[in-house]
Amino acid sequence: MPTEWPSALVIEILATTANLIFVIFMIRENIICWFFGIVGSLLSIYLFIGAKLYSEAFLYFFYVLFGIWGWIRWHRRQEQDSNPVSKWSVASHIRALLGASALALGLGYIALSLTDAQRPFIDAFTTAFSFLATYLEVAKVLDAWIYWILINLASIWLYHDRSLDIYAVLIGVYALLSVWGYISWNRAYRESIA
């Protein structure tokens, strides 16, 4: 409705700004990133429910919870002076890919069967793999950025399809920032093992 649009637009702008600041501070490995991630995620939940992207709304609720955990975990590890970037084995990635795919299929089927969700399987796949990538960010695993590049590319279309064009542009910026994040964290990883 026209009377709702300006407030939704303002919330979308605030959410995208907070989420963008989150990614920039995440790349820089600055713990304040979690504050901006939590705020941006809370605002995003409202928008995704309105756009009938329920898996995305659920994902951003997850981001709020993982933002709290990430803030606590990074703080504790910084106090111990031990919060390095690490890498996962191929076997760990295979298990993670299988688990995230199974979760995505389950979420997609539930959304298709029980809700009026739009694009339930694409929404579910970006959601499930975002769970995985977020976990990898909290654990400071370098490969999180590879997952984010792929997720972001798929999400650009999904958001544009649901008329969340500001989010689509933001996700395009995220895709570029994810490349920067990979380069930055890879440099930190190489320095930590040298």
pLDDT at 66: 94
Residues 109, 133: Cα–Cα separation, whole Å = 22
pLDDT of residue 6: 53
Of 130, 145, 131, nearest to 26 by C-alpha is: 145
CB 34 within 8 A of CB 70: yes
**In 10 A of CB 110, how many CB atoms?**
15
pLDDT in tens, the chain (194 residues): 344 555 878 888 899 899 999 999 999 999 999 999 999 999 999 888 887 777 778 888 989 999 999 999 989 888 887 778 899 999 999 999 999 999 999 988 988 888 777 787 888 898 899 999 999 999 999 999 999 999 999 989 888 887 878 778 888 999 999 999 999 999 999 988 87
What pTM does this model have?
0.82
pLDDT at 72: 94
User: Which of these, 137, 139, 127, 151, lies nearest to 60 by C-alpha position?
Assistant: 127
The predicted structure's pLDDT at residue 3: 46
Residue 5: what pLDDT?
52
- Going by C-alpha positions, the residue among 162, 166, 137 that lies closest to residue 67 is 137
Q: What is the pLDDT of residue 2?
A: 41
